[in-house]
Chains A and B, each alone.
Chain A
Amino acid sequence: AQKVTQAQTEISVVEKEDVTLDCVYETRDTTYYLFWYKQPPSGELVFLIRRNSFDEQNEISGRYSWNFQKSTSSFNFTITASQVVDSAVYFCALTNSGNTPLVFGKGTRLSVIA
């Protein structure tokens, strides 16, 4: 069975601090896909990134960066120089195919204080 664990329930940081959101996953599949979604108070899940299991290259997109390590089954998300607009619940998700059901973690609520 697939499982995603986000051990951090809530994180609070002061604006401009860096913050890392942890994600640990479990799967028996050799091919799988990992995702991060952002859920602002409005409720919509906003897609941030998708990573394939055979591509361990880290990725940077502006202030966002992702560290994928198969050896530790982790896919961590770092926000550099956080901003108030980054305040949201962030979900890590796993699937063995893009169109099969996503298995979500319980989410991490990030509060960025001005």
Chain B
Amino acid sequence: DAGVTQSPTHLIKTRGQQVTLRCSPKSGHDTVSWYQQALGQGPQFIFQYYEEEERQRGNFPDRFSGHQFPNYSSELNVNALLLGDSALYLCASSNLAGVTDTQYFGPGTRLTVL
């Protein structure tokens, strides 16, 4: 049973560039949530996708956008990168309609903005 997968593992970008991160949910899960984890901090919620729609959003600017595909995989896009966007980006999947709706996390993508 494959767990949550994310790609790429690491990414280095420069200020002003755009980046796309990818996530495939755990088998049987239909909901994907994205979190940003700055160094030494706990993860902060960015947004959640269900049925290809953004269901909830945290306190992040519009530079952060996402998408969910019919196969439940998801992308996180960040435009006009800032130095402060450097962080570990974690994807979590869950089952909205399921009895067990615990969020399971992927290994993350470490983004460095120079």
Contact = CB atoms under 8 A, between A and B. Distances in A.
Asked if A and B bind, the verdict is yes
Interface of A: 4, 35, 37, 42-47, 50, 91, 93, 97-107
6 contacts: A43-B110, A99-B50, A99-B96, A100-B56, A104-B42, A107-B41
Contact of A43 (B31, B56, B88, B100): B88
Consensus secondary structure, chain A interface: loop
B107 A42 contact: yes
A43 B45 contact: no
Contact of A101 (B45, B96, B100): B45
A43 B108 contact: yes
B58 to A, nearest CB: 6
Q: Which of A35, A37, A93 has the most CB of B within 10 A?
A: A37
A51 to B, nearest CB: 11
A44 B108 contact: yes
B105 interface: yes
Contacts of B106: 44
Nearest to A98: B101
Nearest to A104: B42
A103 to B, nearest CB: 8
B56 A98 contact: no
Contact of A102 (B50, B100, B103, B108): B103
Contacts of B101: 97-99
A47 B42 contact: no
Contacts of B73: none
Contacts of B27: none
Contacts of A105: 42
Contacts of A102: 33, 35, 43, 45, 92, 103
Given A91-B42, A102-B43, A107-B42, A47 B94 contact: no
B108 A104 contact: no
Given A35-B102, A99-B101, A101-B56, A43 B107 contact: yes
